[in-house]
Amino acid sequence: MRRWYVEIVPDGPAFDVIRSGRDPDRRNPVRGGLIAGLAVVLIAGVAVHLALGGSGRPRRHPPRSSASPRALAVPPIFHGTPLRPGTARPALLFLGGDGLRQLSVGQRAKPSLTDVWPGGIADRDPLGPDPAVQQVASVAGGVVALISSHGSAGLADVGAVLFLPVTGSGAGAPRIIGRANYLAVAPDQRGIWVERAGPPWGNGPAGSPAWLIDAAGQRRSGALHLGHRVLVAATVAGLLVQGPSRALTLVDPAGGRARPSGIPQDAIIAGADAGHVAWQPAFCTTHCPLHITSLRGGLVTKIGLPPHTALNPGDTPDFDPAGQRLAIPLDTIDQQGGTTGTNVYVAALSARTMVRVPGRPIPVATLPAVPGAFPAGSSDVVSARWAADGSGLWIVATDGLFFQAAYWTGTGPLHVLPARTGLAYKFDLGGASPPDP
């Protein structure tokens, strides 16, 4: 097991950060052309499938057809061993893309995928053009999702916040509990901060008011005016917000005053939870360490990333419940600055190690922009989420046409579910485990 450099820095005055010039979003133009060609082939395959009566989801009994079964097969994104009964505890994965889906994984029955939104909710309460799932987050007793769309001047319209209750008997019907452009789950997991962002971030009211609500949609705080800044995370030290110039600020939710955070204002945020923020110095391009700031103790852990790797802003890292491990997707960068694939790594803060999750690299696919989700040109979008007890790691990846889920126990091979048609660039686990089917 290879060990990476780690430095513990006490909280104090701002320290020097590394600044240089590689853009982690650079892509290889030759590879981009090849990927575009492959995308055309895949789209043609999907069109053939639909012309033959496909539903957009794998069939239990494929129809008889003169077409080759290989041409209709959904290509895998992960490579590993099939997920066997008993490998993972029962779980509900809520997957966000152009819709919201629920993937149920039990100990005996085959995994099942059902649509949550659109459907009856969209019919009763339609949104603007091209609605999409912007955020999915686990809360006590369920999961919340922010469904957004865009209106005039390309600004985000105020979207709908859905709450889906999850109990031991499964997931209940979703209901709209608020309207927002951004949300952040409170540290106690029982409250949800919602923001209606005014220009330039959205079509909400001036001043960008934010307030705390519960799972029933009841307000639990007064309005806090963020003033053209958007919610990044709700932490034990305050609300982490970002301004139009990407300036980061930690705000006291009681009075709105700025608090010291120990994080440079121009830092690139990789991920955050209630007690930690993972970030990189701005403009760093080579040998860029990952900084993890503890908002409880003020310590900063610096971990050197594996050679030739970089963050992708569209991916979603995750801290484990104990705050001791960070699962983080990293792109592999070639000598020309292009992305050749993505791997998920697990950084152990106290052990000062970083290990790669088994399996081949997740293949590159250049994706179109999805408002609120990822920018144009992003490669494969990968999200990681720890089980509620930290016993294992769920990973979901999408290539723009298909998505696939996988599970890793922390040892041994990667366990994979079949790939499926559709998008899943955001996901989280339900607030409680479902029953064993």
Determine if the pTM surpasses 0.75: yes
CA 292, CA 147: separation in Å to the nearest integer? 30
Least confident window among 7-21, 27-41, 238-252, 369-383: 7-21
CA 22, CA 333: separation in Å to the nearest integer? 11
Least confident window among 67-71, 103-107, 138-142, 421-425: 67-71
Within 10 angstroms of residue 25's Cβ, the number of other Cβ atoms is: 18
pLDDT single digits (tens) 164-221 = 999 887 889 999 999 999 999 999 999 999 999 988 888 889 999 999 999 999 999 9
Would you kindly state where each structural domain of the chain is located, as residue ranges? 6-54+69-429
pLDDT of 361 > 90? The answer is yes
CATH superfamily for 6-54+69-429 is YVTN repeat-like/Quinoprotein amine dehydrogenase (2.130.10.10)
Residue whose pair of structure tokens reads 């709105």 in the numeric block: 256
Give me the pLDDT at residue 285, please: 67
CA 123, CA 130: separation in Å to the nearest integer? 15
pLDDT of 21 > 50? The answer is no
Find the angle CA(377)-CA(381)-CA(386) to the nearest 5 degrees.
155
| Average pLDDT, integer, range 293-308 | 92
- As a whole number, the mean pLDDT across the chain is 80
CA 137, CA 185: separation in Å to the nearest integer? 7
Find the angle CA(219)-CA(225)-CA(228) to the nearest 5 degrees.
130
Within 10 angstroms of residue 2's Cβ, the number of other Cβ atoms is: 8
Q: Where are the alpha helices (DSSP H) in 27-178?
A: 29-51, 69-72, 120-124
Distance of CA 99 to the CA centre of its chain: 15
Give me the pLDDT at residue 156, please: 82
DSSP state of 370: B
Closest CA relative to residue 18, chosen from 402, 281, 301: 281
DSSP state of 426: E
| DSSP bridge pairs for 282 | none
